[in-house]
Every structure is written in structure tokens, then in C-alpha cells.
């Protein structure tokens, strides 16, 4: 067991990219990664012991060994960082030597950028100019104190001369042919090639790499990122919905009975709403309006208090007496726990809008709120609810949630929602 654990540690740490440029990892960040690796290994070991009914392994000893290994990994990394930084201060180590391959103008910016981040320990030692024949600046012998080594044909010689660990490839004025030449040379020499992801200027999309149909590709995404985050959010939704249904089913039965006794028509109101990426789904609510509410909507258009495509009216005459109570305490939304359970919605996310309202979007940027599964509650819900009458502000809050999403943010919103509802904020 000890031998297997010793083999697991480097494998799991490598999966968390612990060994990729370790000097860039602070002790706290390295400790966090090591802690995650420890949890994964421990979970694996306990699963094996349980599945195969292994009883001869001392659990206390195993936990102690894991804790000691975790401490040693963190201590070793701390010593490594200390020695590395000491050599930097003493001048015996200037950091990771890198070449810059870009146009002369961009090379100046890249050198300033790297020197402006000394904590990254990258040391620009030479410049390969990709537009050497096109400007006087490109024919200079020094750029920002860094020697110009020539053009792409001189790249291999420069890599040998400076024993570089990486080549940083800029994007200004580059052609695919030049990129291929630089990457091919780095591949042959076993040197890392960093192609800056600003080939395409984006406002919110993050650049990452991925595999599509067995081919590697550069991916620009505005979604929450790694698949494991989506899995965790889905598990969180299922557990939350089940707990909510189990705790609130007596209240839901009471609400259904009140609706049935006080107003003719069905207990549930069903409507097509836009889900993830605009896919329509049937959303359920307790009916809080008269059965002819949709037909009477046209006569109330003049009283719409919301800007944009969304329809909101205070003191809506279509709302029933019981409906006013339901809306006051957001009880009409309870059936959406089943939408969450079945996967059409999430506990937290932008509120789902009717399909016909989404079709009225006049700003395509508004559709980015559809890039995340709609939710029972959201930032808009806890920061004003119906007090927010500007649709652009509503969308801004939704996009803020999407851009800053984390499981911690979901929990924070869920904890604040009952308090907001009880206070009647924004109702």
C-alpha cells in the first residue's frame, strides 16, 4: 500500500499540473493543489478498501501517512521556492531564459510585459524579429535592452546560444507559415512554444485548448469552463431539488388545494421558456393569475414598467387573491424544483424568459444570458427583484453572475434568497 501510494502521488500531482513551471506556484497555491491530490488519493484508497473488504490495513496509520506525505510535499515545494528566489536575488539565476518571436513593435511590448511580472521568473534573452525587412525598428540591434538575434532563420542558432527553455510567439503581423516554422523548430529542439492567445481579440471569452473529434483546437469560451465544474453544479442541483421537494411537499399540497378551492382552472401554469442556449422547455409554476391572463395581456401593454422585451406590471388585475400571497412569498415558483430535478433548470442561474420575449431581443449581447442554464434564483433576485425596471441592468447582473460563477457564489445566493423573500425586498 505504501509503495502504491508513493507511485500515485506524482501521477495525481501531474494531473493537477503541479510540476508544470513549479516556480510559478506560490506555497499557498501549491499546498492547495497538494491537498486536492491528497483527497483524490485518499478517496481512491478508501474505495478500494471498501469494495474489496480489505480489513488488515490500519486506517489510522494510513491517514497519518497521507498527512505526513502532504506535509513533506508542501515543505519540499516551499524549500524549492526559497532556493529559487534566493538564486534570483543573488544573480546566480536570472530565471527561465526565453526568446521573443514577434514583430519589432510587439517585441517591445512583450519584453516590458515579462519584465513587469518578475514573480513569473521569465528572462527575455533575445528577440527573433518576424518583420525584419519592413521597418527601421525591425532592423535595430537591441530592443528594450534585449539583443535582436535575427529573423526566423536564426531561431535555432539563438536557441542554442542562449539555452532557452521557451519561445514566446507574438500575434502581431504573424502568418500561419511563420507560426508553423517557429513551432516546428521548438518541437525539434524540445523547447516550449507559447503562442499568445490574442490572435483574436475578445471581451469576455477565455482562450483555452481542447479536443474536438480527436483533433486539438484553440477554444474561446464564455461558459463556466471545465466539465467537472458542470458535473458538480448538476449534482448540487439534484441534491438541492430533492431536499427542497422532501421538505416542502406539504406546503406545495396546501398551495395546490388553495388554488383549486378559490379559482377555477388548473393548479399549475405551464409555459414555454428559453433554457440553455435558447432551447425551449416547459416551465411549471403554481397558477397565480386568472385562466384568461394571456389573452388579457395585450390590454395591459401600455402599463408595462420594464424597458426592453420583458413585461412587468404592478398591481396586475389578472392576479388572483391567492396569487397575490403566492407572489408575495415567491411560493408560485416552488414547482420549478421539479424543473431543476429533471435538468431543465438549475437552482441558481439567470431567470428563464418566455420564448416570445427572447425573440424580441434587439441586442444580440443579451443572448449571452442563455449560455448558462436558467435558475430558480439569481443575482437579480437578491439585488432588487421587481425594483429593477431596466432590462439592461437585469442582463448586466446575469452576465456578472455568469462571468464570476463558482459553487461558492451559488451557495451565497441561495442563502441570501430566503432572507430577501421574507423581507419582501423588491416585491
Verdict on whether the full-model pTM lies above 0.75:
no
* Lowest model confidence (mean pLDDT) among 132-141, 331-340, 357-366, 394-403: 132-141
φ, ψ of residue 388 in degrees (nearest 5)? -80, 105
pLDDT in tens, 96-120: 789 999 888 889 999 988 887 765 6
Using the predicted structure, report yes or no on whether residue 2 has a pLDDT greater than 60.
no
What confidence category does residue 1 fall into, taking pLDDT thresholds of 50, 70 and 90? low
CB neighbour class for 153 (10 Å; exposed up to 12, middle 13-18, buried from 19): exposed
* Lowest model confidence (mean pLDDT) among 11-20, 188-197, 311-320: 11-20
Long-range contacts of residues 251-254, Cβ cutoff 8 Å, at least 24 apart = 251/331, 251/334, 252/286, 252/334, 252/335
Provide Rg for the chain, Cα atoms: 29
Over the chain, what is the mean pLDDT?
84
Spell out the SS3 assignment of 169-235: ECCCCCCHHHHHHHHHHHHHHCCEEEECCCCCCCCCCEEEEEEECCEEEEEEECCCCCHHHHHHHHH
Of the options 3.40.50.2000, 3.40.50.880, 2.170.190.11, 3.40.50.620, the CATH number for the domain spanning 96-199: 3.40.50.620
- Strand-pair category, 142-143 with 122-129: unpaired
Instruction: Identify the pLDDT of residue 135.
Output: 56
* Lowest model confidence (mean pLDDT) among 303-307, 404-408, 423-427: 423-427
Read off the pLDDT of each residue in 316-339 and give the average, rounded to a whole number: 94
Read off the pLDDT of each residue in 211-238 and give the average, rounded to a whole number: 79
Amino acid at each position: 500500500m505504501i509503495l502504491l501510494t508513493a507511485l500515485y502521488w506524482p501521477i495525481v500531482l501531474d494531473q493537477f499540473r503541479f510540476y508544470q513551471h513549479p516556480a510559478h506556484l506560490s506555497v499557498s497555491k501549491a499546498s492547495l493543489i497538494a491537498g486536492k491530490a491528497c483527497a483524490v488519493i485518499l478517496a481512491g484508497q478508501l474505495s478500494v478498501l471498501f469494495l474489496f473488504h480489505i480489513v488488515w490495513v490500519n486506517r489510522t496509520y494510513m491517514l497519518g501517512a497521507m498527512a505526513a506525505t502532504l506535509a513533506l510535499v508542501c515543505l519540499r515545494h516551499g524549500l524549492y521556492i526559497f532556493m529559487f528566489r534566493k538564486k534570483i536575488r543573488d544573480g546566480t539565476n536570472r530565471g527561465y531564459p526565453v526568446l521573443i518571436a514577434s514583430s519589432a513593435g510587439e517585441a517591445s511590448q512583450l519584453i516590458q510585459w515579462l519584465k513587469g511580472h518578475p514573480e513569473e521568473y521569465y528572462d527575455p534573452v533575445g528577440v527573433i524579429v518576424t518583420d525584419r525587412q519592413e521597418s527601421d525598428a525591425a532592423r535595430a540591434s537591441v530592443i528594450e535592452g534585449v539583443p535582436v538575434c535575427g529573423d526566423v532563420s536564426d531561431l535555432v542558432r539563438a536557441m542554442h546560444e542562449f539555452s532557452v527553455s521557451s519561445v514566446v510567439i507574438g500575434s502581431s503581423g504573424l502568418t500561419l507559415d511563420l507560426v508553423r516554422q517557429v513551432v516546428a523548430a521548438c518541437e525539434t529542439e524540445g523547447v516550449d512554444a507559447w503562442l499568445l492567445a490574442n490572435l483574436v481579440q475578445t471581451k469576455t471569452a477565455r482562450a483555452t485548448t481542447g479536443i474536438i473529434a480527436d483533433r486539438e483546437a484553440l477554444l474561446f469560451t464564455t461558459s463556466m469552463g471545465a466539465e467537472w465544474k458542470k458535473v458538480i453544479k448538476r449534482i448540487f442541483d439534484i441534491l438541492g431539488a430533492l431536499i427542497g421537494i422532501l421538505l416542502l411537499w406539504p406546503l406545495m399540497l396546501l398551495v395546490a388545494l388553495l388554488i383549486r378551492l378559490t379559482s377555477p382552472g388548473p393548479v399549475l401554469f405551464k409555459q414555454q421558456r428559453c433554457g440553455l442556449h435558447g432551447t425551449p422547455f416547459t416551465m411549471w409554476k403554481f397558477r397565480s393569475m386568472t385562466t384568461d391572463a394571456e389573452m388579457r395581456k395585450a390590454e395591459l401593454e401600455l402599463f408595462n414598467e420594464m424597458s426592453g422585451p420583458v413585461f412587468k406590471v404592478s398591481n396586475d388585475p389578472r392576479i388572483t387573491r391567492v396569487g397575490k400571497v403566492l407572489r408575495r412569498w415567491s411560493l408560485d415558483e416552488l414547482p420549478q424544483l421539479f424543473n431543476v430535478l429533471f435538468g431543465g433548470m438549475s437552482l441558481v442561474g439567470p431567470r428563464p424568459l418566455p420564448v416570445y420575449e427572447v425573440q424580441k431581443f434587439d441586442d444580440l449581447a443579451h443572448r449571452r444570458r442563455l449560455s448558462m442554464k436558467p435558475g430558480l434564483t439569481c443575482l437579480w433576485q437578491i439585488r432588487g427583484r421587481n425594483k429593477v425596471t431596466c432590462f439592461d441592468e437585469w442582463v448586466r447582473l446575469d452576465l456578472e453572475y455568469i462571468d464570476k460563477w463558482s459553487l461558492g457564489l451559488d451557495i451565497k445566493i441561495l442563502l441570501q434568497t430566503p432572507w430577501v423573500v421574507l423581507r419582501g425586498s423588491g416585491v
